[in-house]
């Protein structure tokens, strides 16, 4: 898409803002993700991140769109970026479950 945008830019310079679209997608795909650590989950987005201690996570469950979401003890929900439902069993192993 960036190559197509550059070719459009050569003959219509006022369309330069269109180059922001593939740039935004590239930044988001490079930054977005979920890091799982023994003490917390960190969900990263294009412009920020959120770290949630495991003690604040009530459960992990599928969200109906093929992703996993963390249900917090406060009742809020956080979609775990780039974590498909197939990986849910790997996230919650029997030796890591509490209670």
pLDDT digits (tens, 9 = 90+) for 15-37: 778 778 888 888 888 888 999 89
Q: Please give the domain boundaries of the chain with CATH numbers for all domains.
A: 1-31 (no CATH), 33-99 (2.30.29)
Q: Is 24 helix (H, G, I), strand (E, B) or coil?
A: helix
Give pTM, 2 decimals. Answer: 0.66
Comparison of pLDDT for 43 and 24, the residue scoring more: 43
Residue 43 has a CB neighbour count (10 Å cut-off) of 20
């Amino acid at each position: 898409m960036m190559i197509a945008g550059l070719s459009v830019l050569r003959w219509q310079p006022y369309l330069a803002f269109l180059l922001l679209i593939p740039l935004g997608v590239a930044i988001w795909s490079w930054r977005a993700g979920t890091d799982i650590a023994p003490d917390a989950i960190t969900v990263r987005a294009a412009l920020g991140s959120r770290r949630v201690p495991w003690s604040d996570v009530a459960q992990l469950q599928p969200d109906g769109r093929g992703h996993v979401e963390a249900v917090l003890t406060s009742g809020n929900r956080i979609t775990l970026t780039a974590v498909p439902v197939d990986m849910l069993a790997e996230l919650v192993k029997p030796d890591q479950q509490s209670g």
